[in-house]
């Protein structure tokens, strides 16, 4: 990756050339191969979004430090597909006192990923409610909690 700007007052800007996905392990997603992508109307095989996110994560770690891996968060959206050979411009804003920093990835001036990253708890974290257990899961959990295991023959109850 080429680092374009490194001043702490300026955004971190990196340039990365997207590479094709490695051969799949397990069940392959057809849009990550030319035939499947062409059949779905794309110009060629798509680079997996998790790989694009990985290139972004490297830049975020450089901007926020390795502590982001244990005490950080990201809220990003993939906007457009990335293809092998695309030149990605990754920008992580570096405002001095902000809890959240804008992050963006573009190809030829078109946004392919954008969002925010930060350290600590995200402002939206309290808004997330874990889903209620499905009825079958709740019944199973209740039954397991009250399961009586009979004593083996000849042993005393405890």
Question: Which residues form the domain of 60?
Answer: 2-120
CB 15 within 8 A of CB 81: no
Minimal CA–CA distance to 113: which of 59, 68, 72? 59
Instruction: Tell me the pLDDT tens digit for each residue of 46-62.
Output: 999 999 999 999 999 99
Distance CA 68, CA 51 (A): 18
Minimal CA–CA distance to 57: which of 80, 45, 71, 73? 73
Report if pTM > 0.75. no
Asked, for residue 41, whether it belongs to a domain, the answer is yes
CB 120 within 8 A of CB 99: yes
Asked, for residue 26, whether it belongs to a domain, the answer is yes
Domain count, the chain: 1
Confidence of residue 9 (pLDDT cuts 50, 70, 90): low
Asked, for residue 126, whether it belongs to a domain, the answer is no
- DSSP code for 97: S
Instruction: Tell me the pLDDT tens digit for each residue of 81-124.
Output: 999 999 999 999 876 555 678 889 999 999 999 999 998 888 88
What is the domain-level CATH number for residue 67? 3.10.129.10
């Amino acid at each position: 990756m080429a680092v374009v700007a490194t001043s702490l007052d300026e955004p971190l800007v990196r340039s990365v050339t997207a590479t094709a996905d490695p051969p799949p392990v397990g069940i392959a997603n057809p849009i990550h191969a030319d035939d499947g992508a062409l059949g779905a109307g794309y110009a060629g095989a798509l680079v997996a979004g998790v790989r694009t996110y990985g290139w972004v994560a490297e830049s975020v770690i450089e901007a926020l430090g390795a502590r982001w891996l244990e005490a950080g968060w990201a809220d990003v959206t993939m906007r457009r597909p990335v293809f092998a050979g695309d030149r990605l411009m990754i920008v992580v804003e570096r405002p001095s006192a902000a809890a959240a920093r804008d992050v963006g990835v573009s190809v030829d001036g078109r946004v392919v990923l954008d969002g925010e990253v930060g350290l600590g708890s995200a402002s939206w974290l309290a808004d997330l409610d874990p889903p209620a257990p499905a009825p079958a899961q709740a019944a199973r959990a209740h039954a397991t909690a009250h399961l009586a295991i009979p004593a083996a023959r000849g042993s005393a109850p405890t």
